[in-house]
Structure 1
Amino acid sequence: MAGVLDSVNQRTQLVGQNRLELLLFNLGDAQLYGINVFKVKEVLQCPPLNEIPKRNPVIRGVAHIRGGTIPIMDLKQATGRAPLEDIQNCFVIITEYNRSTQGFLVKGVERIINMNWGDIHPPPRGAGRENYLTAVTDVDGKLVEIIDVEKVLAEVSPLPSDVSEKAIEEAQEEISVSKHILIADDSSIARKQIQKVVEALGVKTTVKKDGKEALEYLTHLVEDGKDPYKEILMVISDIEMPEMDGYTFTAEVRANPALKDLHIVLHTSLSGVFNEAMVKKVGANDFLAKFHPDELAKRVNDRMKELVGYVE
């Protein structure tokens, strides 16, 4: 256990081609769960928690860690089950999502494994629309479930999702009615958030659940004799996705002569200098950390202005 806890910070710096590292944990039963190590800042024994008034029941309290005050969310309770018990003997996974830091209370931390995104798959169709999974995988013959943390955060502490009137006014009508935006994201909540922003600007959307689906869609456009550059205003893609991540998707698009000129924005809850360097390496046009409606709207409006030769 100590080895796992001590190595998390160092291992977040590892880079792979269409690869990820999962920190495996449990919520008090035999089921294993995984979280991308790139989102993990620290793992520690649950510290003393302080109550906060009128808190969401999922937030078990706040902890003072490294000079900051961090909300601690019970991940078992957040996914619709009974709260974790004996929390002083539980662990907290400190993470950074969507420019905020929070801790997730879990029963136990197992180990870190290195995997290929191709071995990470969407949840089974029979799981239903309201499940809390973005993906599943197999580790040593055991099913590992990857929780849709963005869905959890949106339910516990919703972010503003409305676009300002100014952003809507700046949308270029001649572009918005003739082109659409391709969205690739494995989180149902993230897809809805992006769609709401884009459609508020009067632009239609096509939505795919991962990079593989998005690439297949683009390839089919070409096979049907269509020019993707004339059809698509831009692509907004997550980075973390089952089957094919956003980095690999972008690299595949740039390697295809019929697709290479598409405008790609990588839009992700991952943050840090590492991602900006990878964006340049794979050839994406831009990088945007989730989730700020007006910042996303500005990227869309800037692209529309670029295509109509708009000059401020």
Structure 2
Amino acid sequence: MREEQKGILLESGTNELEVIVFQVGSGIFGINVMKVREIIQAPSVTSMPNSHPHIEGIIRLRDEVLTVVNLTKVLGFPPSENPNQDKLIVSELNQIKVAFRVQGVSRIHRISWEQIEKPTELSQGLENATTGVVKMDEQMILLLDFEKIVVDINPDKGINVKQVQTLGRRERSNKKIVVAEDSAMLRKLLHETLAEAGYDQVTFFDDGKEAWAYLEFLKQDENHNIEDEVQLIITDLEMPKMDGHHLTKRIKSDEQLQSLPVVIFSSLITDDLYHKGKGVGADGQISKPEIVKLIKMIDKLVL
């Protein structure tokens, strides 16, 4: 399936994505095709003693040993009635591979990021792992935050201030940075880690569309020079309304903005996608959660 997926992937910067729809319990969910390496029938799983409650165990897939995360436990659904019919979605994110147990996989949908709504604060909740809602026909498809699911199980796979403390503080406070990141958890962590490094003038936006609107506003403000207000932009890739590739393409296609450095910071910086970032003009691409590499890249571009 992997090669077939690559064959239908979209050109960089079109603000579209392809979502694999699957079922867990009574819920319908989605995952970006670019995170999926393959989908297999669930084999026997070897249990691991003293593991996290969401970890079912491990499997051997060809030459690799993969951790199996049971999404029914993550999402609070009852156990699968027919576990022999279950599927495993083998994914690669944050530079690790992990298999997620689901009850069924239906099809691939091609959609625009504009179709994806942010979960409301009321429905999202503090512990909810949903990043967006896709309204399709009479169905509501929930996009799961797989990165958060992994970090909740193993916090070492996330971003933390201790990683940055090895760099030491430098005079960076005069630099202004714009960040487009849809995860509230990651916005908080980026705020803490960038401030620890000395970058304390950071303006955050929930998605690429909001960040673009801010840049458009600066363009129209005759009292300020854009390059005095923003020295660098950091963007995630997967975001409702406007993704990071489309945001980067817009910036690099704009005469007033194209000189601004843009760094893509995403769990999807794989070999398959790196060329897409280059194609839209990104000045740097760093894989989450490598915050030290991100700060070194920022230093290189603005100091």
Per the TM superposition, whether the score is higher than 0.5 is: yes
Deviation of the 1:82 alpha carbon: 4.1
**Separation in structure 2 between the aligned mates of residue 77 and residue 99 of structure 1, nearest angstrom:** 23
Q: Identity across aligned pairs (percent)?
A: 29
Give the C-alpha shift of residue 94 in structure 1: 0.2
- The partner residue of 2:10 within 5, 11, 15 is 15
The normalised TM-score by structure 2 is 0.91
Secondary structure of the corresponding residue to residue 244 of structure 1 = coil
Matched, 1:79 2:75: yes
1:58 aligns with 2:54: yes
- Where does residue 41 of structure 1 map in the other structure? 37
| Structure 2 residue 96 is the aligned partner of structure 1 residue 103 | no
Q: Deviations over 1:207-250 (max 9, x none)?
A: 11111011011112222332232222311101111111111101
Paired residues for 1:1-312 under 5 Å: 7-13=1-7, 14-16=9-11, 17-29=14-26, 31-130=27-126, 131-158=128-155, 159=157, 161=160, 162-169=162-169, 171=170, 173=171, 176-204=172-200, 205-225=202-222, 226-305=224-303
2:237 aligned counterpart, secondary structure: coil
Pairwise CA distance, 1:129: 4.2
Query: What is the deviation of 1:83?
Result: 4.3
Q: Which runs of 4+ in 1 moved over 3 A?
A: 80-86
> Shift of the alpha carbon at 1:23?
0.3
Q: Using a 3 Å threshold, how does the CA distance of structure 1 residues 128 and 145 change in structure 2: closer, same or farther?
A: closer
Structure 2 gap ranges (5+): none
Once structures 1 and 2 are overlaid, which stretch shifts more, 84-93 or 284-293? 84-93
In structure 1, the gaps of 5 or more residues are 1-6, 306-312
Residue 34 of structure 1 and its aligned partner are, at CA, apart by 0.5
Cα offset for 1:187?
2.0
- Secondary structure (helix, strand or coil) at the match of 1:167 reads coil
Q: CA, structure 1 residues 12+40, in 2 after alignment: closer, same or farther (shift >3 Å)?
A: farther
Q: Distance in 1 between matches of 2:272 and 2:40?
A: 24
Contact 1:154 1:189 in 2 (8 A): no
Provide closer, same or farther for how the CA distance between residues 164 and 252 of structure 1 changes in structure 2, counting only shifts above 3 A.
closer
Pair 1:200–1:81, CA change in 2 (3 A): farther
Q: Secondary structure at the match of 1:123?
A: coil
RMSD: 1.8
For residues 12 and 222 of structure 1, the distance between their equivalents in structure 2, rounded to whole angstroms, comes to: 37
